[in-house]
Structure 1
Amino acid sequence: MTGTLLIIDDDRSMRELLEEDLGARGHRVIPAENAAAGRRALQDTEVDLVLTDLNLPGIDGISFCRELHAARPDLPVLIITAFGSLETAIEALRAGAYDFVTKPVDLDLLAHALRRALENRRLQQQIRLLDAEVARSRPSGELSGESRPMRTVRELITRVAGIDSSVLLTGESGTGKELAARALHRLSERGSGPFVAVNCAALPEQLLESELFGHLQGAFTDARNDRRGLFLEAHGGTLLLDEIGEMPLTLQPKLLRALEERRIRPLGGSREIPIDVRLVTATHQDLERAVREGRFREDLFYRLNVISIEMPPLRNRGNDILLLAESFLHEFAARLNKPVQGLSAPVAAQLLGYAWPGNVRELRNVMERAVALTRHDHLTLEDLPPQITRTGNSAQVPELDSDAPLLTLAEVERRYIERVLGEVAGNRSVAARILGIDRKTLYRKLQDD
């Protein structure tokens, strides 16, 4: 275990001794006679470890250790100290030094201490890289959530990501099918390759064919230049065909041939080009029904539907509604620079009771609107759009001028707590968050009842 070492010592003979011995052990050594020279070396060169004498001219050793640790907490610092300054060395450890060695220096013991420090640093680097990879690979945003349907989706994505088979993503519009496709791509061996997406419903037939397979100059009117096509753009990566149910029936045989032969022929071309892509398709349509009605080829359907993942509608995800709402709220509060901290209890209850026909996409838009319009630190009902507030899904409290009997405040509170608990399937932690109280207070109120 070797590395680049910065040695700081005002004793020239000590510097030369350490440079010779440690260089012979395979280390690259950068000598510096004082702290100022050491700072310059750190600016000019990437080093793996600093070995410094505790008593340096012009600076207190403890302060120098603290300075190094504050500037580069990942950089291990070893202290060389005399026996008489052992307490000071221990104080340096508290200031961020990794270890210390005493004078006269035992070179073998020093080499062992350096090896342990370098091994520890590289281990910490590996842990940070691993944590970053896990964070990068973990589905986030709209794919987050603790509901059983979303846990099932994430588990399935993780299981099939490494399989190079075609995947068909189904579900209502706005449920996050493209996000699932991107997660499949990131977690696969193709994750370092391109991810290319096209909406089949957004392009007319000839243009879609050109987009997918490319064309040669002069293949049709306005084809002034050659075009590679998205299959080639996605070479080595993943191609997502969104709204695959809208692909024209006349174009489907060419797609089927490309998948089976793993070769494409551009428009106007005479030779086939090999392709290497993982195909993921998505649709909100019932493709089996489309097959029965003759709107979609049966052989293509089975070729695409090797692995199927159904994205659940938001209304079936329970408490995920509030988790996503809070996530979007903080995202837009930061983006719009507004001091919005959370949801009020009536807003949370209203969000839970709404059917969300536009699913996660609609929730995101609602939260952006609410954060943009609110004048409070917590969202109120007046910040929500009319289609949500007029649904009558919030807890029902009798109007004062109605024929219903008047209730005590305690009874109103009890009924509202019961309503919120019912909406969150008895999850007391979530209910407490909606009600704006801690769990102990909620437990006490439930016991009082």
Structure 2
Amino acid sequence: MNKTLSRLASFAVMLVMLLSVVPFRSYAVEVVSSDIKITDFTKPEGSLPVGKSFILKGIITSEKPMKKVVAGIYYRNGVANQEVEKEVSTTEFNIKTIDAGIRFGSLPEGLYCYQVSVTDSNDNYVRLLYSEFQIGNPSTESQIKTENSSFPSGTMQYGQSFKINCCIKSVQPLNKVSAYIYDSKNSEVWKTVKSSVNSKSYTFSGNDIFDVSNLDEGSYTYKLVAEDYSGYNATLEKISFEVKKSEETDSDIKISNAEFPSGVLKQGSYFNLRGTITSKYKLKTVTSEILKSDGTVLQKVSFSPDSTTFNVFPDIDYSMIFENLETGKYIFLIQAEDEKGYKTDVVKSDFEIGKSNVLAGDANTDGKVDIADVIAISSYVSDSENNFLQPVGRQNGDVQNSGNGLNASDALMIQQYLAGIITSLE
């Protein structure tokens, strides 16, 4: 009995040690079996040059037929970079048969591990080989970089909002990107974390906006951190800034006779923007944006009036294209700043683009189907550049083999419908 308990204890210790070797992956069943062995094998170790191939070898043998062999290169967090899986029903398997499917020469700089595993006849997972290695001399500086960054710096006025703009690019796929703000006591006061990015680039946008009106006067530090799949954790930005309450200002910026989107707009429809912005001091900039509900900027235009008056029409009106927006929720914004540095949102409106009511055949979107729609389609097909149709009109007019775009067949089908040859355009 004591011998049996001793053996069980030894096996448990060995199993814990083996599981701890592969911290990046957790298996429901992981068994080390004396029945399955690998011999005459090669494995990548240490540092391999970028672009250099590596030949994999090894003979796997088992007393009973095996079910599956899996070999691959993995990032240190367990995500597969390359993986080859073979269904087998034999007692011997040559790793050389899958060597061509694993390309070391295509790996960029980074940290990796090579692993070979087998599923035995009892559906147990058997790990036969595990080896950590690196390609080249990776460093966080060369692996992960930022482009087009904007971040809080210098002195910011109490109550001023700030949008983080930053494109992060990485040689390896990014796993997590985080931005933080710490106060003078190094306590975290704000953060945004993007997990499972699974891409070689990430652009901060959307709700990556903070309002320093939530921050008391004082000193703060902004920190941007990114982690890739190889396990590198890079601090990309670490910037100090101050928050101070602004002095009283006599600036006054307002908008009158404003017309801007709100509620629900029909998909494909136009919207005419109107309004006059006036200011006590000369306007330095006027900026307008259409954003998704999460804050992602879709359209943006800026003007430098150098005047105390600015008309929304025609400059902003002609620049903002509502008819191309997909269904969904949006924010329309006009922000103005005067020569004294006073900045305010003169318009900030939530609106929605809803599904349009499709009237099959109504290409010119006048609410009816007649010969004018045939002419509109024919003109568009012959010269779409000079004969514009709204997106909803193009959708309405695409009646023949719907989904393939406007063509002469659509005009013909509408003619047949008007002549009574066919009874429906649906």
- TM-score category, normalised to shorter length: under 0.3
Q: RCO greater where, 1 or 2, for CA within 8 Å and sep 6 or more?
A: 1
* TM-score (normalizing by structure 2): 0.24
Q: Higher helix proportion, which one?
A: 1
Q: Higher strand proportion, which one?
A: 2
